[in-house]
Structure 1
Amino acid sequence: MSARKSAEPSPESVARTNRQRLAAQEGAQAMLDAEKQAADVRKNMARLRELRQAREAADATLQASLPAPIPAKRKKKAPQ
């Protein structure tokens, strides 16, 4: 019966530890990237909302400044 009593980890366990460490780092980076992209999307949506609201306000002001349209008179039907 030969039991390992060395303090050195096996190459497999070292490789597994390295893979786990890299996966954790890549996962953290992916989360940061996703959060940054979400923040960029929210910022762009806010910008577009402000532009739309400004355009709608300008359109409402223009409509209010125009005179009311004169309704067209109905033409009488010609007798048959």
Structure 2
Amino acid sequence: MSQQIDTEIEIDDEVQDAEAQAKAKAENRAERAERAERMAREGAQAMAEHLAAIKAVDERTVRLRALRLAKEAADAQAKAAEPPASRKTGTRKAAAKKA
């Protein structure tokens, strides 16, 4: 009888070990799935932030280029509106020779 009880205890231990292993595998699988989901979510968020930063740089570049072109056009217009510099009829050397 004692041997039968020992066998039943061993079988119960094996069943409990198998159940514990199955439970551990299921928990590991769930943890891996959760980690993969979290990494995918964080990756998508990082990519969105990266693309937003690129878009912001492009928008600033367009705005600054427009400002620069407008300033260059205003400078060119102001230079064209200036009266031409009067030319002197002679140079200092020519004036010195005459004297």
Q: TM-score by structure 1 length?
A: 0.76
Aligned counterparts of 1:45 and 1:33: Cα–Cα separation in 2: 18
2:41 to 25, 28, 39: 25
1:1-80 to 2 correspondence within 5 Å? Answer: 10-70=26-86, 73-76=90-93
In structure 2, distance between residues paired with 1:56 and 1:38: 27
Structure 1 stretches of at least 4 aligned residues deviating more than 6 Å after TM superposition: none
Structure 1: tracts of 5 or more residues without a match: none
- RMSD over equivalenced CA pairs, Å: 2.8
Aligned equivalents of 1:19, 1:63: Cα separation in 2: 65
Displacement of 1:71 in angstroms is 5.0
> Equivalents in 1 of 2:81, 2:25: separation in Å?
82
Runs of at least 5 residues in structure 2 that lack an aligned partner in the other structure: 1-13
Q: How many residue pairs get matched?
A: 78
- Using structure 2 for the length normalisation, give the TM-score: 0.63
Of Structure 1 and Structure 2, which has the larger fraction of its residues in helix? Answer: 2
Identity across matched positions, percent: 33
Letter in 2 for 1:34: H
